[in-house]
Amino acid sequence: MKVNATVWYLVLSQAFLNVAAAAAVMVTPNHQSILRDQPILQVSTKTHDRQLIYDKLQQSYQRLFGLNSNHHAVLHLSNSDSINNERSCLENSNIKYYLKNVQLVNQDFEASECRTNLNNQYQSILQPTFNVHQFVHFSSTDQIMNQLQSNLIVEFAHHDKLQQFKFFQFQDLNYDLQCLVDYNQLMQVKLRENLLEANLEIVIEVADTCGFQKINDSFDGIVLESLKINIPINGTFYCHNGRSSTCTRVNANYKNSRFKLIS
């Protein structure tokens, strides 16, 4: 589901305001530094599928050295592409994720179809798609991302300034919201979420047998990358009236509407 980064107007519930106020105290505009000596997650062939290691090395190789003439950056193992070298490359490489800092952010998700009303005698009724928050947050099959999120929640629970945050508080989502769509109007339900954004540093320790030095002899065996993970605290649905990046005349639906007589 596409994230809409535009800041929309929103009348927040009091509970949402309370969480935001608390976060404003605990998470400064310059981020809350939580540098750790120990990684949040360490990935190796001893703990994860070797294909995960290979894919990450391949991505790093491609990012560092670019594409070849065939538009593919093939991971070059040292000496020859022998099975022994590939095994040594994968088994002696590690990927470590370190927590750097966190900050409070908001994100909008579409929470219903885009709807218009072609009946000038009635208002069309639009409501949030049932259990849409489950689709947004609980449909990922990315093993590493899911594991990182779980480990971060455990880490936050032991941090003095973050332990009061309770995540995935969706039991009171206002699914009873009704957006009334006037004649020829565009409307879509949005889910505005309050999230804690964790900024991670990824340290990839590349084994010599992976052959990175054959492309660049000054390569020191370390690749640094960054990653952001957003963990939801809570949210609320609201009615967005008018055109947006996910709601236009082209994709607006008017069929099978529920109507309310205009008062």
* 81 has a pLDDT exceeding 90: no
* 254 has a pLDDT exceeding 80: yes
Task: Evaluate whether 257 touches 115 at the Cβ level (below 8 Å).
Answer: yes
Tokens of 174: 């206002």
Tokens of 187: 């409307």
Alpha carbon separation from 261 to 118, 128, 177, 183 (Å, rounded):
14, 21, 18, 12
Instruction: Give the count of alpha carbons within 13 A of 214, CB side only.
Output: 14
Domain spans of the chain, in order of start: 3-261
**Which one has a higher pLDDT value, 78 or 167?**
167
226: confidence class by pLDDT, cuts 50, 70, 90: very high
* The pLDDT of residue 31: 44
* The pLDDT of residue 82: 58
| Triad 20, 243, 248: Cα angle to 5° | 125
125: confidence class by pLDDT, cuts 50, 70, 90: very high
* 227 has a pLDDT exceeding 60: yes
Which of 3-12, 56-65, 168-177 is the least confident region? 3-12
* 191 has a pLDDT exceeding 80: yes
| CA quadruple 76, 78, 79, 83: dihedral sign | negative
Percent of the chain with pLDDT over 70: 79
Which of 21-35, 75-89, 135-149, 179-193 is the least confident region? 21-35
19: confidence class by pLDDT, cuts 50, 70, 90: very low
Tally DSSP H helices, then E strands, for the chain. Answer: 6, 10
| Triad 28, 34, 40: Cα angle to 5° | 135
Strand partners, 181: 124
| CA quadruple 74, 77, 81, 87: dihedral sign | negative
169: confidence class by pLDDT, cuts 50, 70, 90: very high
| CA quadruple 194, 28, 158, 94: dihedral sign | positive
Tokens of 165: 């945050």
Task: Please report, as a single letter, which amino acid is at residue 119.
Answer: N
Mean pLDDT over the full length of the chain: 81
Mapped onto helix, strand or coil, the DSSP state of residue 3 is: strand
pTM for this prediction: 0.76
Task: Please report, as a single letter, which amino acid is at residue 180.
Answer: L
